[in-house]
């Protein structure tokens, strides 16, 4: 039986990775990947119309997939939920080469690529919450992913500059950021349980309750969809 052919984009990405530390996610890297992979240049440009930018996106999503697989194989039963989140973020950071990730961060910091970079961070956060069994809807679906996106982004930047042994300074930083989030969650719980504060938030909460988290295929440019009040 003839083994299936490798996906052309995967072939290009594998070939590009040895060049990224030197040339970044650049046209030079893309051209070198075409040459090293042996792919027809027309096919390469068909699967990656934007060249190395598309490869950088594919590399980010490959890291997400590796993180999800790591979570599926890990025994999380003895961990507190906050530690499961920390485990997921750590797995995600360790899912790729640090220099390739650094180069990707530089690429997606450029103004014309920043929206796509933010979208990829949102995807990562969504995959973490989904892998951990999140079933929230409405505003909680958004707030969890937005909060985790902030935690992940800050930890990523810290990790890229961390020279401590075993990146222990990064993991301590991550724990502090998650502790900050847990304090916010406690405050939200206090608001819900307080008769006075809950009445003050009744109007905003009613409005936000009509924001629906996506189920199935929705607008690919939006993280969710707006459902007007009936």
pLDDT (0 to 100) of residue 15: 98
Stretch among 56-60, 95-99, 128-132, 195-199 having the lowest mean pLDDT:
195-199
Q: Please tell us whether the domain made up of 60-226 is placed in CATH 1.20.81.
A: no
pLDDT digit string, tens, across residues 134-170: 988 878 888 889 999 999 999 999 999 999 999 999 9
pLDDT (0 to 100) of residue 114: 96
Question: Is 215's pLDDT higher than 80?
Answer: no
Q: How many CB atoms lie within 10 A of CB 202?
A: 10
pLDDT digit string, tens, across residues 40-75: 999 999 999 999 999 999 999 999 999 999 999 999
On whether the pTM is more than 0.85, the answer is no
* CB 30 within 8 Å of CB 15: no
Question: Is 190's pLDDT higher than 50?
Answer: no
Give the separation between CA 198 and CA 168, rounded to whole angstroms. 40
* CB 132 within 8 Å of CB 88: yes
Q: Where does the pLDDT of residue 123 fall: very low under 50, low under 70, confident under 90, or very high at 90 and above?
A: very high
Q: How many CB atoms lie within 10 A of CB 64?
A: 20
The full set of domain ranges for the chain reads 1-49, 60-226
More confident residue, 96 or 181: 96
From residue 161, give the alpha-carbon distance in Å to each of 20, 55, 191.
Answer: 18, 24, 38
pLDDT (0 to 100) of residue 218: 40
- Of the candidates 182, 180, 173, 147, the one whose C-alpha atom is nearest the C-alpha of residue 90 is 173
Across the chain, what does the average pLDDT equal? 84
Measured at the CA of 113, the angle between CA 117 and CA 102, to 5 degrees, comes to: 60
From residue 155, give the alpha-carbon distance in Å to each of 4, 76, 160, 167.
Answer: 38, 21, 9, 11
Report, in angstroms and rounded to the nearest whole number, the Rg of the chain calculated over CA atoms. Answer: 20
pLDDT digit string, tens, across residues 84-110: 999 999 999 999 999 999 999 999 999
- Ranges of beta strands (E only) in 81-141 are none
């Amino acid at each position: 039986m003839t083994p299936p052919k490798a996906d052309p984009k995967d072939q290009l990405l594998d070939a590009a990775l040895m060049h990224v530390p030197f040339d970044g996610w650049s046209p030079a890297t893309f051209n070198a990947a075409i040459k090293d992979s042996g792919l027809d240049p027309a096919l390469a440009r068909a699967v990656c119309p934007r060249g190395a930018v598309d490869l950088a996106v594919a590399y980010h999503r490959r890291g997400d997939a590796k993180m999800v697989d790591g979570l599926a194989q890990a025994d999380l039963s003895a961990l507190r939920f906050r530690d499961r989140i920390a485990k997921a973020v750590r797995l995600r950071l360790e899912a790729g080469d640090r220099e390739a990730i650094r180069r990707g961060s530089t690429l997606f910091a450029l103004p014309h690529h920043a929206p796509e970079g933010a979208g990829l961070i949102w995807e990562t956060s969504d995959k973490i919450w989904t892998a951990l069994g999140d079933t929230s809807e409405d505003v909680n679906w958004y707030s969890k992913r937005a909060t985790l996106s902030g935690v992940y982004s800050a930890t990523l930047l810290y990790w890229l500059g961390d020279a401590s042994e075993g990146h222990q300074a990064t993991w301590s930083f991550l724990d502090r950021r998650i502790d900050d989030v847990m304090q916010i969650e406690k405050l939200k719980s206090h608001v819900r349980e307080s008769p006075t504060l809950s009445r003050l938030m009744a109007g905003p909460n009613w409005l936000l309750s009509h924001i629906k988290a996506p189920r199935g295929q929705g607008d690919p440019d939006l993280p969710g969809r707006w459902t007007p009040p009936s």
